[in-house]
Chain A
Amino acid sequence: MKAAVESEEQRWERETLGPATRQSPERAASFTTISGRPIDRLYTPLDLAGLDPARDVGEPGAYPYTRGIHPTGYRGKLWTMRQFAGFGAPEDTNARYKRLLGAGGTGLSVAFDLPTLMGRDPDHELSLGEVGKCGVNVTSLADMEALFDGIALGDISTSMTINSPAAMIFAMYLVVAERQGASWATLSGTIQNDILKEFIAQKEYIYPPRPSMRIITDIFAFCAKEVPRWNTISVSGYHIREAGSTALQELAFTLRDGIEYVQWGVDAGLEVDEFVPRISFFFNAHSDFFEEIAKYRAARRLWARSMRERFGAKSERAWKLRFHSQTAGVSLTAQQPYNNVVRTALQALSAVLGGTNSLHTNSLDEALALPTAEAATLALRTQQIIAHESGVANAVDPLGGSYFVERLTKDMEDEALAYFEQIDRLGGMVDAIEQGFPQREIAESAYRFQQAVERKEKVIVGVNDFVQRDDPPIAILYIDDSTAEKQLRKAEALRKARDNDRVARALDALRSAARGTANVMPPILEAVRAYATLGEMCDALRDVWGEYEEVPSI
């Protein structure tokens, strides 16, 4: 059989391909993905060598989940259309959420501003000019109450992109839910809570890596008991990719981060089969269509095998990698912004063909500003058209068995495993980060890509080719400084109105938990109920653990 295929292919090369390429040569001597991965002309059954269909590909809903975690794919339930949104004051964002839910969005996703992400109150020196700009500002429980006013937290799922101060923001969410009468046991949603990728790529860290990891294992332990349906972490490759990594580096570093969290959980005495099912993932849906699809398929297989083989997980739920994806912000262009609608649609399609469990589609204006309501609605419509008109959600893993896609999936899996080994040799991911390894790898890839763009080896339509001089400007969302003033006034009033002795006692209890080994969640919940501000709570931990500063390098 194999020999027959071989000779057939040789005959084709001689009789068909040869004359064709002599008559009209190919466009380039070699073809590569956006990540620089070489791509062959043609993939055939020979490319499946070393791949065991039963062992490596398997069936949907079955180990190793290459073809997806649901036996029926999207025939049972479509992916969650979850649009990331947040800007200005909590009241502004609350109105946007109500609009998105009214337009058929099926989950919320909170974007916080930089002061909130960095655990700083609006009156801190470094918050100057940043309040409400890149997301919504949340200073205390009062803001969280306003953010979800009129939205029943027991009925929706909410994702919150929050990392260093994840414990505090999550505690605020829990208290709002409690006051709405929703039981913690029924709450569903996700906190990003992925500090490793902050050190690697996004750089919104506060404390040094080791105490930061301790907060995360405290959250794992707290949620296993108190909020069992909550996704305690969203291990994120998105930001790693945005920072300039290749698709492979995104896959490898993210999965290895996931392994690191599991290892820390195990070392803290947690049961793999109890806490691992609440770990979810978040990937970037970038522009190279097939490479992205292979990335998602490889991710599921790598996770299932790592959990079963490396950690001895017995629960199927611990083997299944569930992931959110977001189209690539970095691929959006300020030039000819309407082209971004097309880019986003293709990226979203690759995420769907790769089996994403939830999806955010970017808006056409996001290379320029936070999106307008109209642009955000169009982005949601893009998902609805894929879901309901394209027909791609009818069959499970429609590209499974493609010589090309299976080969790419296998190659990415193997190459990710080689990265795992390298990181293991450095002592694990925390050690690798402290040595600057993933950071250097990403910076190198980012520079290499920029040079390829500069040399036009990679074409970006409207930027380095097909440039249009009379590109008309589009309307953008402009966030002025009124939010900062409003949030400052609210914080001032709050500090006068609350019981400041109770706040001081709560913050002391938090410091004391941080110095010892007690779980930090209960004292954080008490501080939140006392209306301590986010900055005050984060400062209490800064007092104990100090702040991390990376050694700048390029």
Chain B
Amino acid sequence: MSRKLRVVIAKPGLDGHDRGAKVIARALRDAGMEVIYTGLRQTPEQIVSAALQEDADVIGLSILSGAHNHIAPRLMALLREKGLDDVLVVIGGIIPDVDIPKLKELGVSGIFLPGTPMQEIIDFINANARERTGPPGASEPAVTTARKGVPGR
């Protein structure tokens, strides 16, 4: 019996524009996933720690500021270090075309640019996230929040 997908939505870097992150978090929740929103200004270390503690299947990063070329390599390296290679990583935001191949090479699976329908992101995650198994009804769709990687505070 498959369990609900668990998604950590994070905003790394100094940028505070959280409209996209929040809208996507709600859309994924409404699509039946469990969503953990980390809040603003998370370092790659904090995001990986949240993913570990939350047993996340997916990490979604919202980056608009141009810092993706620095954040993504660190995040992907940390995930490998912690044995979280099978966590699906997707980025939404403003990413210049020339940077997309580099991010894909690093292992970022999905890159969603401005104007992407929410449904397209939901479908992508459903199709590409790892299979989860667990007791039926183990979790209801819910949104929790994590701060500094500590869940539920």
Contact = CB atoms under 8 A, between A and B. Distances in A.
B14 A120 contact: yes
A381 B69 CA distance: 34
Contact of A133 (B26, B65, B114): B65
Interface string B94-133: 1011100000000000000111011100000000000000
A205 B39 CA distance: 14
Interface string B28-40: 0100000101111
Contacts of A481: 69
Contact of A114 (B14, B29, B145): B14
Interface in B8-45: 13-19, 21-23, 25-27, 29, 35, 37-41, 43
A325 B119 CA distance: 34
A128 B147 CA distance: 21
A476 interface: yes
A252 to B, nearest CB: 19
A554 B35 contact: yes
A553 B147 CA distance: 11
B40 A203 contact: yes
A202 B98 CA distance: 28
B66 A334 contact: no
Contacts of A127: 14
Interface residues of B, number: 42
B70 A443 contact: no
B17 A333 contact: no
A532 B39 CA distance: 31
Given A130-B14, A464-B117, A554-B25, A125 B69 contact: no
Interface string A34-78: 000000000000000000000000000000000000000000000
A513 interface: no
Interface residues of A, number: 47
Interface stretch (A142-150, A279-287, A446-454): A446-454
A114 B64 CA distance: 11
> A interface, by DSSP: helix, strand, loop or mixed?
loop
**Residue of A203, A333, A464, A554 ringed by the most chain B CB atoms within 10 A:** A554
Nearest to A203: B16
B23 A447 contact: yes
B143 interface: yes
Nearest to B15: A114
A460 B146 CA distance: 34
A130 B96 contact: no
A335 B114 CA distance: 8
Interface string A331-357: 001110000000000000000000000
A550 B40 contact: yes
A447 B71 CA distance: 27
Contact of A334 (B35, B43, B113): B113
B125 to A, nearest CB: 16
B14 A552 contact: no
A160 B54 CA distance: 41
Interface in B78-96: 94, 96
Nearest to A329: B17
Nearest to A547: B41
Nearest to A335: B115
Given A334-B113, A552-B37, A204 B118 contact: no
A129 B70 contact: yes
Nearest to A463: B115
A525 B41 CA distance: 29
Contacts of A130: 13-15, 65-67
A478 B17 contact: no
Contacts of A507: none
A376 interface: no
B19 A244 contact: yes
Nearest to B94: A368
B27 to A, nearest CB: 7
Contacts of B43: 125-126
Contacts of B38: 552
A244 B24 CA distance: 13
Interface string A419-459: 00000000000000000000000010011001000100000
B143 A554 contact: yes
Given A118-B14, A129-B69, A478-B96, A242 B19 contact: yes
Interface in A516-554: 549-554
Given A117-B14, A333-B115, A369-B96, A552 B145 contact: yes
Contacts of A367: 94, 114
A74 B123 CA distance: 52
Nearest to B63: A129
Closest 7 pairs between A and B when the two form their complex, measured CB to CB? A203-B16, A552-B39, A129-B70, A129-B67, A133-B66, A114-B14, A463-B115
10 contacts: A114-B13, A118-B14, A130-B65, A133-B65, A446-B19, A447-B22, A464-B117, A481-B69, A550-B40, A554-B25
